[in-house]
Amino acid sequence: MHIQYLGHSAFLITVQSGEKLLFDPFITPNELAQGKVSIADIQPDYIFLSHAHFDHIADAEELSKRHQAPIIGVWEIHSWFEKRGCPTYPMNVGGTWYSPKGSGLWVKLVPAVHTSSFPDGTYGGVPVGFVFSDGKYTVYYAGDTALTLEMELIAERHALDIAFLPIGGVFTMDGEDAAEAALLLDVEHVIGMHYDTFPPIKIAEKDKLKQTFNENDIQIHLLPIGSSLDLSKIITVSAKES
C-alpha cells in the first residue's frame, strides 16, 4: 500500500490492486501545499469524504468530474455533490463499500465525533471515519474526531496495521489524545494529520509530540507534504485475523 500525503488531511492511497483512493482533498486552497502538490497530478479512482467542511472537500468536485471518480460518503454528501453533476455513491455509518472491480478492496464507514456542514451552510450529515482493507493491510482513517471509546470497538473488530489520526487539537483531538487513541486502536504506527495548516492547529513542539507517542511504544509519522510512504517498508503484516 502506497500513501502520498497531500497536506492537511488529504491522502492519495494506492492499494495492491492499483486502485487509487483519495481522502478529503483540500489542496488548491492550502497555502502549505502550493508548489508541493498539484491536483493536475492526482488521478483518483474513488474519492472518500469524511464530512462536509471546506477543508476536507475543496477539490472533490473538480477531481470527481475530471476523472469520473465517484464521491463516496454519507447520504447528505452524496445528495449535495450529485446535484452538482458528480458521480456519487451514497452510504451511511456502518455501511461497507466494496470495489466494483472485484479486487477485494472494501471500505467501512465508522463513527466520528465532530460536526459537518457545507460551505453554503447546508447540513452535511454525520461525520465519519473509514476502516479499509486491500486484503494485505487494514487501515483506519479517522477523519476529524475527538477521542472516543468507539475506537476500542474498531480494534476489536479489525486488526489494524496503521491509523491516520488528527493531532492538531482545537477542532479535533490533540497529540496527547491521539496517542491514547492509538492505544485503544491497538496500533504501533500512526500517521498524523490535520495540523499546522492554520494558526490554531499549528504544533510548535513536534519533538514533545513524538515523545508522547514513543513513551507508549507507538511511532508517529509526520510526512512532508507531497512525500510518500510505502507501508511494506515499516510494517510486517499482522498475523491477527481482520
The two counts, helices (H) then strands (E), for the chain are 6, 14
Whether residue 235 is predicted with pLDDT greater than 90 in this model: the reply is no
Q: What is the pLDDT of residue 9?
A: 98
Q: What is the pLDDT of residue 86?
A: 98
Q: Which residue in the block uniquely carries the three cell numbers 496500533?
A: 187
Q: How far apart, in whole angstroms, are the C-alpha atoms of residue 239 and residue 242?
A: 9
- Mean pLDDT in residue range 60-86: 98
- Mean pLDDT in residue range 8-21: 98
Q: What is the pLDDT of residue 241?
A: 39
Convert the pLDDT of each residue in 181-200 to its tens digit: 999 999 999 999 999 999 99
DSSP state at residue 226: T
- Mean pLDDT in residue range 211-226: 96
242: pLDDT confidence band, cut at 50, 70 and 90?
very low
Question: Would the CA dihedral through 22, 23, 29, 35 be positive or negative?
Answer: negative
Crossing angle between the packed helical segments 60-67 and 75-82, to the nearest 10 degrees: 70
- Domains in the chain (CATH in brackets) are 2-231 (3.60.15.10)
Q: What is the pLDDT of residue 238?
A: 43
Q: How far apart, in whole angstroms, are the C-alpha atoms of residue 105 and residue 112?
A: 22
**Higher local confidence (pLDDT), 239 or 80:** 80
Whether residue 240 is predicted with pLDDT greater than 80 in this model: the reply is no
Convert the pLDDT of each residue in 136-162 to its tens digit: 999 999 999 999 999 999 999 999 999
Convert the pLDDT of each residue in 156-181 to its tens digit: 999 999 999 999 999 999 999 999 99
CA 187 to chain centre: 16
Crossing angle between the packed helical segments 150-157 and 175-185, to the nearest 10 degrees: 40
- Mean pLDDT in residue range 116-135: 97
